[in-house]
Amino acid sequence: MKRVVVGLSGGVDSSVAAYLLKQQGYEVIGLFMKNWHDDSVTISEECPWLEDSNDAMLVAQKLNIPFQTVDLSVQYQERIVDYMFREYKMGRTPNPDVLCNREIKFDVFMKIALDLGADYVATGHYCRKATQSIDGKDVYSLLSGKDANKDQSYFLCQLSQGQLAKTLFPIGEILKPDVRKIAAQQDLITADKRDSQGLCFIGKVRLPEFLQQQLAPKKGAIIEVPLENHKYKNAPTSFTSETQRLQHLSTKIAYSIEDGKKVGTHQGAHYFTNGQRKGLAVGGTKEPLFVIATDVDENVIYTGQGKDHPGLYRRGLFVKQDEIHWIREDLTLNNGDTLCVMARIRYRQKLEKATLYKTALGMYVIFDTLQSAITQGSLLPGMMQTNVWVVVLFLKSNI
Q: Report, as residue numbers or ranges, the catalytic residues.
A: 100, 200
374 Ramachandran zone, left/alpha/beta (phi>0; psi -120 to 50): beta
Yes or no: say if 203 and 38 are a contact pair by the CB < 8 Å rule.
Answer: no
Q: How far is CA 220 from CA 103, 299, 311, in A?
A: 35, 5, 20
Residues 6+ apart with CB under 8 A from 396: 326, 327, 328, 331, 339, 341, 356
Any idea of the CA torsion for 289, 291, 292, 295, to the nearest 10 degrees? 140
Continuous segment of H or E residues that includes residue 223? strand 220-224
- Rounded Cα distance, 327 and 368, in Å: 24
When computed from its CA atoms, the radius of gyration of the chain, rounded to whole angstroms, is 23
246 by DSSP, 3-state: which? helix
Q: How far is CA 367 from CA 54, 95, 249, 273, 293, in A?
A: 46, 21, 9, 21, 20
3-state SS record for 89-142 = HCCCCCCHHHHHHHHHHHHHHHHHHHHCCCCEEECCCCEEEEEEEECCEEEEEE
- Rounded Cα distance, 349 and 88, in Å: 23
Cβ neighbourhood burial of 4 (10 Å; 0-12, 13-18, 19+): buried
Q: What DSSP state is assigned to residue 322?
A: G
261 by DSSP, 3-state: which? strand
CA neighbours within 13 Å on the CB side: how many for 181? 5
Yes or no: say if 56 and 30 are a contact pair by the CB < 8 Å rule.
Answer: yes
The C-alpha angle with vertex 119 and arms to 114 and 124, in degrees rounded to 5, equals: 90
- Rounded Cα distance, 180 and 159, in Å: 27
